[in-house]
Amino acid sequence: MADLDLEHLTQPSYRAGSAARLAGLSVETLRVWERRYNITGSARSEHGQRLYSQEQVARLALIKKLVDQGHAVSTLAHLSSSQLQDMLSAPSAIKLEAGALRAVVIGGAALCGMVRSEGTACGLQLLHAAERSDAPLPELDADVLIVEANLPVGSDPAHLLDLRARIGARGAVLLYRFGQAAALAALREHGFVAARAPVDLPQLATLCVAACGATSQPTRQAGPLLPPRLFDDAALRAIEVSPNSVACECPRHLTEVIRTVAAFERYSADCENANPQQAALHAELAYASAQARALLEAALVRLARADGLPLPPTL
């Protein structure tokens, strides 16, 4: 009989929800990371649920910290925990490449002025600067797009992907003071490096090098971004059990419909694909259900405000 791996048998296992919470992630983000990158190689229970060890949860937490610093998750997914820890301990280890990175800056006057006057000292050559992302752009051959913008609840970051495509930049950096987690995660999954503003010029240059050097393009063809969820299960439950002003059953019925549509959205996104045609069909189903869920959530927001029902803090 083979020797029992007692250390493995005594290792605590966490389901996806608990692992995500301990690592500081949303469950949706963890599912995306697993589906695209098999980021932990986690085992599955006899019922098919992912199970995470303490070491895997700790590794997820390291990756989350590095993503928050501006690293792209696709460059971190297959690094060992020791390599991740080294990166976290020495974030300045990324060195500027020889030659200047040609940059397009979309943001406030302070950011544009900083790159214009001092950028060359840190390896950034300003090709074009504008304060609005919808301003006309000349023909450009840029290495990196730098955008200073916030992503409030309900914002659609797809226009930033379009902006990057218009200038053909190898890399893209988003500087934000506040932003919805789902929107930031969506941009990072499409190759953006995102970091909280303000940053100084050396920090910005390091972010630009990371964006251009590690994963300058998305690892898969970018489809339409799904609208982020406004209500998680706990928020739906809070509305469901709260009394309203006219003793109406509409809030309960609406939360049930949203929960069902959101479940189908997740199912479509996670469904196994035998060929590209099936993958395209499931992506279309996920997108359609996400659009329906977003409309229903908007209606629930209006209903909750009219009846004085509890809303999530972000709303």
Report residue 278 as tokens.
Answer: 């099936």
Alpha-carbon distance of 68 to 189, in angstroms, equals 13
> Are 51 and 14 spatial neighbours (Cβ–Cβ below 8 Å)?
yes
Give the per-residue pLDDT at 129.
92
- pLDDT value of position 95: 40
Nearest CA-CA partner of 163 in 146, 176, 150, 177: 146
Question: Measuring CA to CA, which residue among 88, 92, 102, 112 is closest to residue 207?
Answer: 92
For residues 225 and 291, the answer to whether their CB atoms sit within 8 Å is no
Query: Which residues, in sequence order, are CB contacts of 109 under 8 Å at separation 6+?
Result: 131
Distances (CA, A) of 4 to 8, 31, 42, 55, 307: 9, 31, 20, 20, 59
d(CA 181, CA 26): 8
Given its phi and psi angles, is residue 54 left (phi above 0), alpha (psi -120 to 50 degrees) or beta?
alpha
Q: Residue 300 and residue 298: Cα distance in Å, rounded?
A: 5
What string of pLDDT tens digits covers the 315 residues of the chain? 334 344 444 456 788 888 888 888 888 888 888 887 787 777 777 777 788 888 888 888 888 887 776 666 777 877 788 778 877 765 443 344 445 788 999 998 889 888 988 888 778 889 999 988 777 777 778 889 999 998 887 777 888 988 888 888 888 999 998 888 778 888 887 888 888 888 888 878 878 887 876 433 333 334 455 677 888 888 898 888 888 776 678 888 999 999 999 888 887 776 666 666 666 677 778 778 888 888 898 889 888 888 888 888 877
Cβ pair 185, 227 in contact under 8 A: no
pLDDT given at position 174: 92
Question: Which stretches of the chain are DSSP H helices?
Answer: 6-9, 16-23, 27-37, 54-68, 73-76, 81-89, 109-118, 158-167, 181-189, 201-213, 233-241, 250-270, 276-307
Check residue 173 and give its pLDDT.
92
HSE, side-chain direction, 13 A CA sphere, residue 216: 14
Distances (CA, A) of 212 to 101, 145, 219, 238, 297: 9, 10, 14, 44, 37
Distance of CA 131 to the CA centre of its chain: 24
Cα–Cα distance list, 20 to 45, 50, 59, 244, 247 (Å)? 17, 11, 11, 33, 37
The confidence score (pLDDT) of residue 90 equals: 54
What does the DSSP assignment read for 208-260?
Answer: HHHHHHT-SS-SS---PPPPPPS--HHHHHHHHHS--TT--SHHHHHHHHHHH
**259: which 2 tokens?**
């929960």
Rounded CA-CA distance 133/149 in Å is 9
Q: Tell me the CA distances in angstroms from 72 to 35, 88, 96, 195, 201, one per residue in order.
A: 16, 13, 17, 11, 20
What pLDDT does residue 207 have? 82
